């Protein structure tokens, strides 16, 4: 079974959603596969801005070296 082409990442403070991010499928430099999302989000209550980076790596996906 193949991996989905993307996943959604929700950034929230309790029940208050700050933002949703799209994380496309990615092969990392290590050879592992997974998803990556990055960007800026705003805390809608305080107005504070944050830089977000999210890596989601499938465990065991790094190719074995011989």
- Judge whether 53 lies within some domain: yes
* Residue 37 within a domain: yes
* Structural domain harbouring 17: 6-57
> Token pair of 30, please?
């290590």
Residue 63 falls within a domain, yes or no?
no
Confidence (pLDDT) at 1? 57
pLDDT for position 16: 86
Is residue 41 in a domain? yes
pLDDT digits (tens, 9 = 90+) for 6-60: 999 999 988 888 999 999 999 999 989 999 999 999 888 888 999 999 999 998 8
Inform me whether the pLDDT recorded for 65 exceeds 80: no
- 43, 21 contact by CB (below 8 A): no
- Count of domains forming the chain: 1
| pLDDT value for 38 | 95
Rounded distance between C-alpha atoms, residue 50 and residue 59, angstroms: 28
On whether residue 32 sits in a domain, the answer given is yes
Cα separations (Å) of 54 from 24, 65, 66? 11, 27, 30
Q: How far is CA 57 from the centre of its chain?
A: 9
């Amino acid at each position: 079974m193949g991996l989905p082409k993307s996943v959604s990442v929700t950034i929230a403070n309790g029940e208050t959603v700050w933002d949703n991010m799209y994380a496309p499928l990615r092969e990392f430099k290590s050879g592992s596969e997974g998803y990556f999302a990055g960007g800026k989000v705003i805390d809608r209550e305080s107005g504070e801005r944050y830089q977000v980076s999210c890596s989601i790596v499938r465990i065991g996906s790094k190719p074995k070296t011989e």
